[in-house]
Amino acid sequence: MTVARVGQYRALFEDTRLRIVDLLLERAATVSELAGTLEIPKGTIGHHVAVLQAAGLIRVVRTKKVRAIEAKYYGRTARTYLLSATKEKVTEVSPDYFLTSAAAEFARATEFLSEQERSIMSTLRYARIPAARADEWVLRLGELAQEFVSEKRGGDTTYGLLLALYPTERPHLPDPGDAT
């Protein structure tokens, strides 16, 4: 699903709502389950769920009768949300949102895990490649991300995967055959 409307960006890019949609990747859940997992009051979670539902990012996927009350299970409207440019500027969303939140999580992970427990990898590389190859890499990274989120759920730890491919203004040496 492509996230292109300003309202969708505003709905999605709030910490609690991002945590909700992340949890809903695992399975559909009720407001009570989300509230218990996130340790946030049900009323607050209910508000965030309503915002996400109004933006078309989640929906009721099933209901279940629990003691005369109908429990609603919410699920994502898409496994992956593709971010698209909007005509209006979304000032509430920082362009480096994913990078800063991932960096903070990465720093916390390195603090609380022992050397034996670490399944951590981080690298930053640069390569001067043609635009067509960059487009191929974007597709391959998207496929890798999809494979990651499609992995069978299990274990006690939730892992994060951050992928980015972007042009830089880093200088590069001339090709060997170029005149200097």
Contacts 24+ apart (CB under 8 A), 143-151: 145/80, 146/79, 146/80, 149/25, 149/79, 149/80, 150/79
CATH classification of the domain holding 6: 1.10.10.10
Residues above pLDDT 70, as percent of the chain: 89
- Which of 93, 118, 145 lies at the terminal end of a domain, its last residue? 93
* Domain stops at, among 59, 75, 93: 93
Count of domains observed in the chain: 2
Q: Looking at the structure, do residues 5 and 89 belong to the same domain, yes or no?
A: yes
Q: Are residues 98 and 110 in the same domain?
A: yes
Q: In the prediction, which pLDDT does 114 show? A: 64
Give the predicted TM-score (pTM) of the model.
Answer: 0.71
| 44 and 126 within one domain | no
Radius of gyration of the chain (CA): 20
Please give the pLDDT value at position 97.
Answer: 76
Q: Is the pLDDT of residue 179 over 90?
A: no
**81 plus 107 within the same structural domain:** no
Answer yes or no: do 60 and 119 share one domain: no
Mean pLDDT of 99-111: 81
Per-residue model confidence (pLDDT) at position 89: 64
DSSP 178: S
- Cα(72)–Cα(62) distance, rounded to whole angstroms? 6
* Whether 87 and 162 share a structural domain: no
In a shared domain, residues 86 and 101: no
Band of the pLDDT at 31, cuts 50, 70, 90?
Answer: very high
Token pair listed for 33: 């389950």
| Residue with more model confidence, 152 or 173 | 152
Looking at residue 86, its pLDDT comes to: 64
Give the number of other CB atoms < 10 A from CB of residue 162: 13
119 and 72 together in one domain:
no
The yes-or-no verdict on residue 43 having pLDDT over 90 is yes
Structural domain boundaries enclosing 178: 94-180
- What does residue 167 show for φ and ψ, rounded to 5 degrees? -75, 150
Q: What is the pLDDT of residues 49-62, one digit of tens each?
A: 999 999 999 999 99
Task: Dump strand ranges (E) for 36-167.
Answer: 58-66, 69-76, 82-83
Nearest to 157 by CA among 121, 104, 118: 118
pLDDT of res. 99: 80
Using the 3D structure, point to which of 60, 93, 126 is the last residue of a domain. Answer: 93
Mean residue pLDDT of the chain comes to: 86
Q: Give the pLDDT score at 84.
A: 72
Query: Could you tell me which residue, 85 or 73, shows the higher pLDDT?
Result: 73
**For position 170, what pLDDT does the model report?**
82
List b or e across 77-101, with b for residues whose CB sees 16 or more CB atoms inside 10 angstroms. beeeeeeeeeeeebeebeeeebeee
Top-ranked range on mean pLDDT: pick from 32-36, 84-88, 93-97, 165-169: 32-36
